Amino acid sequence: MTKATKKTISSLKDYFLLAMPGLNDPNFSQSVVYICEHNADGAMGLIINQQLDIPVKAIFDQLDLKYLDDCGSSLIFDGGPVQRDRGFILHPSVEQQWESTVAIGEDISLTASKDILTDIAMGKGPENALITLGYSSWEAGQLEQELAENTWLTIPAASEIIFHTDCDKRAGAAASTIGLDLAMLSHDVGHA
């Protein structure tokens, strides 16, 4: 590849981080993290393949929201180890905007305000919303260092994986988008 055609990724916003087999951190082992922000100050993302054994209706109850029974049965996701009392909703980009909606990718948005939960509770929110508690973050340079240590594999994000792939199949689906079979990855880390 010539210098003129080489693509340099300066931001991993709207990318997946796939934990490599050697990552022994219990917060991130076998995780897929969707990166919502990445700049010189650091990075922020949400784990999209670790569900908690907590139904969404628990949040509706805690916030005193009225809800339809069939809107409260899905499980909440563990978004990461930081501020586990704070909620984030990943959802397909739609025409409707809520108080704090931010477009992350072409067809993926993030909202962290109560008004979206009110709509979800009544069946008026976006379809396929992924509700998380907590988030993952890296200080300036930390993610770049972890990437240099082969802790993570970076993969362009796909909304199909977030919203239409079973939770336990998301890591394999993300890997397959770049032609990788997770079963073929070694647990040994090394440099050639």
Strand partners, 32: 18
Residue 15, CB half-sphere, CA atoms under 13 Å: how many?
A: 19
Question: What does the pLDDT read at residue 190?
Answer: 45
* pLDDT tens figures, 154-175: 999 999 999 999 999 999 999 9
Which of these ranges, 2-6, 27-31, 184-188, has the smallest mean pLDDT?
2-6
pLDDT tens digit sequence for 107-154: 999 999 899 999 999 999 998 999 999 999 999 999 999 999 989 999
CB distance 132 to 77 below 8 Å = yes
- The arithmetic mean of pLDDT across residues 68-86, rounded, is 92
Please indicate whether residue 170 or residue 185 has the higher confidence score (pLDDT).
170
DSSP 22-87: T---TTTTT-EEEEEEEETTEEEEEESS-EEEEEHHHHHHHTT----GGGS-SEEEE--SEEEEEE
Q: What are the chain's domains?
A: 15-181 (3.40.1740.10)
d(CA 8, CA 25): 28
Cα separation, 49 vs 31, in Å, equals 6
- State the average pLDDT over residues 173-179: 93
Confidence of residue 186 (pLDDT cuts 50, 70, 90): low
Give the model's pLDDT for residue 192: 40
3-state secondary structure of 36: strand
Cα(102)–Cα(112) distance, integer angstroms: 9
Give residue-wise pLDDT tens across range 8-65: 558 999 999 999 988 888 889 899 999 999 999 999 999 999 999 999 999 999 999 9
Does pTM top 0.95 for this prediction? no
